[in-house]
Amino acid sequence: MKAVVCSAISDDFSGVRVADLALPDPGFGEVRVRVLAASLNFPDLLLCQGKYQLKLDPPFTPGMDAAGVIEAVGDGVSDWQIGDAVVCGMRFGALAEYVVISTQHLQKKPEQMSFSEAASYQVAYLTAYVALVCRGNLQAGETLLVHGASGGVGMAAVDIGKLLGAKVIATGGSDEKLRQVSDYGADYVFNTKDGFRHQVKELTDGQGADVIYDPVGGDIFDESTRCINFNGRLLVIGFAGGRIATVSANIPLIKGFSVMGVRAGEYGRRFPEKGIANVKAIWDWARQGKTRPYVHSELPLSDIIEGFHRLQRREVVGKLVMKPSEA
């Protein structure tokens, strides 16, 4: 089978290629899935650059989200059958024509979702759910400020924020992409090149945002501390802007807000029962048609380096999907 393999850690992805690997056989409690779609997530890039919190020794196959059809079942599997359309949640390994996965990490693909949409869902929406529900305790009627709103996890936060009844303010660095975020449901959009704290204060009668969702860091984080409400929650999702920001302890003290780190996968590993409930909650929403990821474009698996570069250049709105196999 064909699979993306990172054989060496490098900033320019020179150690990443598509290679031929042996077709894996499912073991006890596992199935083999023919992958029809696998989405790219920013951690996939960081993993191949050695900059992610999970460190893997090469060679390895990146990829966290996949959707496809079960082709083979191992011993002990009774609830799944060959031909079932499924979604696979993985820490790595999804960017391949086939994956072997424990049935504990399978979801039935919602009928109304395409394979590309299904493969674009779990990582982004689980991140946003854990951030906004489990950590941020976002309430109906509160103001949610979403940074990096045109990215995969940003679009998911906009979607969930609206579902929870919040007023959603979205920021980004491209007017064109922000127009798509506005069409997706954000109440207000602001280009960060013009700043945003004064606009946020104006929209909240001088109080500031109740919850701030920040996958960018750097200057965006710094300015966020100046437009957050008392008892606000500033959620640290990541550092796509490159600089890991710091804050003097007197600022949250005086302004009465909390800074909270968000690692959705680790949250589920630390609290397994909550993790299972969180995954169930987002997929229930998907099956009820309450949430739907935004798929920007699709590429063949052979174009993986181009896909990485598109993410790196911030050209993608929502999710970019790789197509290892055709239906």
Do both 142 and 254 map to the same domain? yes
Is there a domain that residue 319 lies in? yes
Is there a domain that residue 110 lies in? yes
Domain that holds residue 256: 124-266
In three-state form (DSSP H/G/I as H, E/B as E, the rest C), the secondary structure along the chain is: CEEEEECCCCCCCCCEEEEECCCCCCCCCEEEEEEEEEECCHHHHHHHHCCCCCCCCCCECCCCEEEEEEEEECCCCCCCCCCCEEEEECCCCCCECEEEEEHHHEEECCCCCCHHHHHCCHHHHHHHHHHHHHHCCCCCCCEEEECCCCCHHHHHHHHHHHHCCCEEEEEECCHHHHHHHHHHCCCEEEEHHHCCHHHHHHHCCCCCEEEEEECCCHHHHHHHCCCEEEEEEEEECCCCCCCCCCCCCHHHHHHCCEEEECCHHHHHHHCHHHHHHHHHHHHHHHHCCCCCCCEEEEEEHHHHHHHHHHHHCCCCCCEEEEECCCC
Is there a domain that residue 301 lies in? yes
**What is the full per-residue pLDDT of the chain (327 aa) written as tens digits?**
999 999 999 999 999 999 999 999 999 999 999 999 999 998 999 999 998 888 999 999 999 999 999 999 999 999 999 999 999 999 999 999 999 999 999 999 999 999 999 999 999 999 999 999 999 999 999 999 999 999 999 999 999 999 999 999 999 999 999 999 999 999 999 999 989 999 999 999 999 999 999 999 999 999 999 999 999 999 999 888 888 999 999 999 999 999 999 999 899 999 999 999 999 999 999 999 999 999 999 999 999 999 999 998 889 999 999 999 765
Do both 145 and 114 map to the same domain? no
Do both 105 and 18 map to the same domain? yes
Q: What are 45's two structure tokens?
A: 């890039």
Do both 261 and 139 map to the same domain? yes
Q: What are 24's two structure tokens?
A: 């894996």
Is there a domain that residue 273 lies in? no
Residue 212 belongs to domain with CATH number: 3.40.50.720
Is there a domain that residue 284 lies in? no
Count of structural domains within the chain = 2
Do both 138 and 98 map to the same domain? no
Residue 89 belongs to domain with CATH number: 3.90.180.10
Is there a domain that residue 288 lies in? no
Do both 150 and 262 map to the same domain? yes
Do both 53 and 180 map to the same domain? no
Do both 259 and 148 map to the same domain? yes
Do both 117 and 128 map to the same domain? no
Do both 161 and 87 map to the same domain? no
Is there a domain that residue 153 lies in? yes
Do both 155 and 241 map to the same domain? yes
